[in-house]
Structure 1
Amino acid sequence: MVYQSATTPTHTSNGAHTPVNGSSRSSQTGSGTGAGTGIGTGSGSALSHGHSKKLIIRRRSSRSSTAPVKSSVSSRSAISEYYPESVPEPMPSQSLSSKKLIQIMPEEAGGTAWQVEDEPFYHGFMSNNECKPLLTNPGDFLVRRAEIDGEMQYVITVLPENSNEITNFIIKKTRPKHLYYVYIYAFKTISDLIAYHSRMKKPLNNENVCIVKGIARSDWQLAHEQIERNKKLGEGAFGEVWEGTLNLGVFRGYIPVAIKTLHSGNISADERIKFLREANLMLKLSHPNIIKFYGVATLKDPIMIVMEFASGGSLLTRVQNTKRPPTDADKIRYCAGAASGLAYLETMQIIHRDIAARNCLLSADDEVKLSDFGLSLLGIKYRERSMKNVPIRWLSPETLKHGRFSSKTDVWSFGITIWEIYSSGQEPYAEIQDNKELRRGVIEQRVKICSPHGMPPMMQQIMFSCLTYDPKNRPTFQELNAKLSAARPSSSYFTLSSKIKGLFHF
């Protein structure tokens, strides 16, 4: 079938003309940007959309069937750091009001999947900056979802020839026939659209931008079908936390996992990106004292982050346990484990920004695992202009006064965490409930933490070194890790003491 404007020349074909009314959702002008997606719309843009002129449908004899040909794909395991999205300059193109829209039948298109979610080059919800490191050669492309003007759209992201900047093309849809198209050719499925443009080297616009090789999802890009949620552990403003299982395949089987989900209703693109920032950072990390990251599921809603399940629960709950309180040796181990993980983050130039006993989890072996990287950032220094919804009781004076974050501000928060461990999980500065008064008191050095009852002198010295007012005089995590590792009880001692405690624990 041929959809064409009444003012354009026709392709040679057989059959009668039949007028129909419809819209191809393409316009000559448009404005606005896709929030947080790096996709913009502009006059004459390949990304503009709206209403088309009245179209004329023509029938033509079908071509001979062509066997499906899969485009070659290669795996990429990189994901970018999170930065605020920039809007790329859109590629100019002619609007379809002056172009033919030719339907390509499935047998000619050569698509291999009915649902685009089944294609290896489909990456689900992904930001513009996450795409950039994946597309390295001219013609490399992927298909993703992005929010544009408040509506979720399918987008082809491609690296054009002779360019270092990626280009985005919205996959539009005709209203009367529900056909997918980008430029000239229309298809019943997105899979057909990609297969035809790739195999036949048909450009996506009038500047000859072509797609050549689809970039496949990585192992950490999970399918929702691999994930099973069993028990809800908690819920917040933007999502839920579940205990569940992850299917790793026939040979590896199922493993227990913790699952963070993002609410699917009324969530902006910026909120989606902020949610996935935690996964972006955790992908870079591998350390025994940091919760292991298994992957993200972004192919459809709800978006999920899947990570190691810490069966021992939170460190805060553990130190608050009055029936079976942790021993002095346990407390030193907890501090040493946290310091080891934080020293690793320091070498990776990652600022955690939310160190507290509540964000330390315990494995089945009672080992500390750092978690909750939702506020974490890659870098040496950072200044936060808005100090809303921050954990004020764990923040350093320079953070409270100037919004500054660094590895040394994490050291201060670690000092408060040591205090939590030795105070049986009490709230820091509990005697001051007014946060404004507390903030002024910490900044002016009128309010200070006192050592808890029974805290060993060595741990007092370490804690107060972390709580030094001048950040330059605070120790590094490398120094803290060295001291605490030397003071940590041997593994044989811990194994024996655990067995003894187990004998008398009912």
Structure 2
Amino acid sequence: MGTQEEEFSARGHDKKEEKTVDNRKKGARTVDQNEKEPKTAVGKKGDKCGLKQSPMSPATPTPKGTPNKIKCEATKNEASNKGKKNNSQMEQLKDRSQMSTYGSANPKTTTHDFQWLEEYITKMPCFHGFIGREDLMCLLKNVGDYLIRISVQANRQEVEKRKKNQQDVKVLVNLSREKCAKKEKEREAKEAKLAAIGDVGRREFVISVYCKDKGTQSPNKPVYTPIRNLVIKRDNGLIHVEPLKKFKTLPEFFAHYLKNTGICKETDFQLLNPIGLSNWEFVHEDVDLQAKKLGEGAFGEVRVGKMKIKTTKKMVEVAVKMLKNSDVVTREQVSELLHEARVMRIMDHKNVLRSYGIAVVREPLYLMTELCACGALREYLDENKDTVTLAEKLSFVLGAARGVEYLHSQRTIHRDLAVRNILLSEDKTPKVSDFGLAKVTDRYEMKEKCKIPVRYLAPETLEIFIFTPKTDVFSFGCVIWEIYENGHQPHDGKNAQTIRNLTKKSQFLKLTNSAPAELRKLVGEKVFTADPENRCSMTTIVQCVENIEKPAAGAK
């Protein structure tokens, strides 16, 4: 979902304002220099610039045929610094009345105009809600294919936060998990405060269309992307995506571009074929949300639900991850949920949590996954530490290892492996989950801070901030350690700096003697190593565990 600068946004051409007659020539009464100027009040909806004219300000006549306009500037008798202060206050003030079912309208679009567009567009079969730019290529494949979506604009705080994260990336490795949690709570409180004054991501309706390039390719020209994004505007009752072509109604608008071409960034576009929801896109009515809650966090909550799969028509129980309501959901949160769904959509393995789809046509946004009745592996190990067998633990290691091995075969780095992110199905099959930080690449260099506890990170990540499949292997060594320690987290009780120092000295974790000797040897020699070149692959771990003779049933 792009920002307004990234997307094509038609702007009207304002006519030059005619000069007004000098007040002094008309004999208008002036304000005494020593008289205190009253503060400018916020005007009612519909007033130009949102301001009322001060009763103490001189009336300014205008030429015939020219509508009266109230200037958004200080009067002659008002101090310049005072005028700047008022303007600054007006810029910070947001209109909460623009909030609708789909969030807040763009400030350049009036409340009435945005809601008018919303009422019509959201009922169209080609409306895909909050779908992201990254998903467009798999939906739009031929010239003339188009869909309509909502673009969430990044507010000022999100932009500043991203810049700060890029500058302070090294702070990550000095933060313990507890400090990360504390900072997260502070961030939530700040976002809630911003939401209270309306400073949340703005929404715009965007037409994404597959185009044919008009220009010729050249070495200096950026790589051509066939999809263009057109922001729908409605000014003074007229709809447009091009400045000089305006329409009274949306049916008239779509009928025109069905027969005629428009131009966007030197590219011809035409709205020929509306694309409906795909097999992995659902409307909220398709999901029967249950009262049972599975978990809750900063993002929102996870609840049990039921839904019918489009391809098989089979009813299944699902876990529904829901984002918070539209008053506080930001562009960043929407992007994170869509990214996680996108990564999960390409996975198909019994040891990787399955995604059934998303429901993002309206808020709150849903991500539907298979339901794992036994919950997280960490809680299961802790609650059943007196009864869980060594055979079960080895089975958990093998299943989880196969899941991560599959991810690596799909060129995906998980980046957040821990027993808390491994779920157990009803038959206790381990499933790797939580792909919010996953990257589909062979090597990823971290540019921004992210919430990953230091205790799971490989030495090269702590030093040069890179992630590869080999860093996942190191983290999986911590997973094996956790399984044999009944869910206890690595380096429990140690702060981040202590863990860093231990890692620099190559003083890594050691598996308990209850783990098979072959596994202890592999982890000690080929998993917990400082040099990633000497570290084994996930396939080696899988083969090692498969070759280990399982202890007798019931042994501990």
Name the Cα RMSD after superposition. Answer: 3.1
> In structure 2, what is the equivalent of residue 97 of structure 1?
none
> In structure 2, what is the equivalent of residue 228 of structure 1?
288
* Counterpart selection for 1:196 from 255, 268, 288: 255
Q: Which residues of structure 1 form unaligned runs of 5+?
A: 1-35, 57-112, 498-506
Task: Please state how far the C-alpha of 1:244 moved relative to its aligned partner.
Answer: 1.5
Task: Please state how far the C-alpha of 1:248 moved relative to its aligned partner.
Answer: 3.5
> In structure 2, what is the equivalent of residue 120 of structure 1?
125
Query: What is the alpha-carbon distance in structure 2 between the residues aligned to residue 208 and residue 431 of structure 1?
Result: 62
* Counterpart selection for 1:455 from 515, 518, 525: 515
Q: Which moved more, 1:340-349 or 1:116-125?
A: 116-125
2:368 aligned with 1:277, yes or no?
no
Task: Please state how far the C-alpha of 1:241 moved relative to its aligned partner.
Answer: 1.6
> In structure 1, what is the equivalent of residue 373 of structure 2?
311
Task: Please state how far the C-alpha of 1:307 moved relative to its aligned partner.
Answer: 0.6
Task: Please state how far the C-alpha of 1:389 moved relative to its aligned partner.
Answer: 2.1
Query: What is the alpha-carbon distance in structure 1 between the residues aligned to residue 397 and residue 452 of structure 2?
Result: 23
Query: What is the alpha-carbon distance in structure 2 between the residues aligned to residue 234 and residue 50 of structure 1?
Result: 52
Q: Is the contact between residue 3 and residue 152 of structure 2 (CA under 8 Å) also seen in structure 1? A: no
Runs of 4+ in 1 over 6 A off after TM superposition: 49-54, 204-207
Q: Following superposition of structure 1 onto structure 2, how do residues 154-169 of structure 1 map, counting pairs within 5 Å?
A: 154-163=205-214, 164-165=224-225, 166-169=227-230
For residues 317-365 of structure 1, give each alpha carbon's deviation from its aligned partner in whole angstroms, at most 9, with x where no partner exists.
1211246531111011100001111111111110000111110001111
What's the TM-score, normalizing by structure 2? 0.65
Task: Please state how far the C-alpha of 1:154 moved relative to its aligned partner.
Answer: 0.7
Query: What is the alpha-carbon distance in structure 1 between the residues aligned to residue 146 and residue 436 of structure 2?
Result: 29
Q: 1:232 to 1:186 in 2, by over 3 A?
A: farther
Query: What is the alpha-carbon distance in structure 2 between the residues aligned to residue 460 and residue 49 of structure 1?
Result: 70
Q: 1:462 to 1:194 in 2, by over 3 A?
A: farther
For residues 268-327 of structure 1, give each alpha carbon's deviation from its aligned partner in whole angstroms, at most 9, with x where no partner exists.
323311221111111110001001111111111111111111111111112112465311
> In structure 1, what is the equivalent of residue 170 of structure 2?
none
* Counterpart selection for 2:144 from 114, 123, 139: 139
* Counterpart selection for 1:403 from 465, 476, 480: 465
Q: 1:431 to 1:250 in 2, by over 3 A?
A: closer
What's the TM-score, normalizing by structure 1? 0.71
2:36 aligned with 1:40, yes or no?
no
Q: Which has the higher contact order (CA 8 A, sep 6+)?
A: 2
* Counterpart selection for 2:474 from 379, 401, 412: 412
Q: Following superposition of structure 1 onto structure 2, how do residues 62-141 of structure 1 map, counting pairs within 5 Å?
A: 115-141=120-146
2:483 aligned with 1:421, yes or no?
yes
> In structure 2, what is the equivalent of residue 29 of structure 1?
none
Q: How many residues align?
A: 394
* Counterpart selection for 2:316 from 255, 268, 276: 255
Identity fraction in percent: 29
Q: 1:214 to 1:482 in 2, by over 3 A?
A: same
Task: Please state how far the C-alpha of 1:202 moved relative to its aligned partner.
Answer: 5.9
For residues 137-160 of structure 1, give each alpha carbon's deviation from its aligned partner in whole angstroms, at most 9, with x where no partner exists.
322221111024742011111233
For residues 21-56 of structure 1, give each alpha carbon's deviation from its aligned partner in whole angstroms, at most 9, with x where no partner exists.
xxxxxxxxxxxxxxx5154279xx6433698999x9
Q: 1:232 to 1:442 in 2, by over 3 A?
A: same
2:182 aligned with 1:182, yes or no?
no
Q: Is the contact between residue 239 and residue 247 of structure 2 (CA under 8 Å) also seen in structure 1? A: yes
Return the structure number with greater helix share. Answer: 2
Opposite residue 117 of structure 1, the aligned amino acid is: T
Q: 1:227 to 1:323 in 2, by over 3 A?
A: same
Query: What is the alpha-carbon distance in structure 1 between the residues aligned to residue 414 and residue 440 of structure 2?
Result: 9
Q: Which residues of structure 2 form unaligned runs of 5+?
A: 18-64, 66-117, 155-200, 215-223
Q: Is the contact between residue 383 and residue 405 of structure 1 (CA under 8 Å) also seen in structure 2? A: yes
Q: 1:488 to 1:174 in 2, by over 3 A?
A: farther
SS in 2 for 1:123: coil
Task: Please state how far the C-alpha of 1:471 moved relative to its aligned partner.
Answer: 1.1
> In structure 2, what is the equivalent of residue 439 of structure 1?
500
Query: What is the alpha-carbon distance in structure 1 between the residues aligned to residue 539 and residue 479 of structure 2?
Result: 17
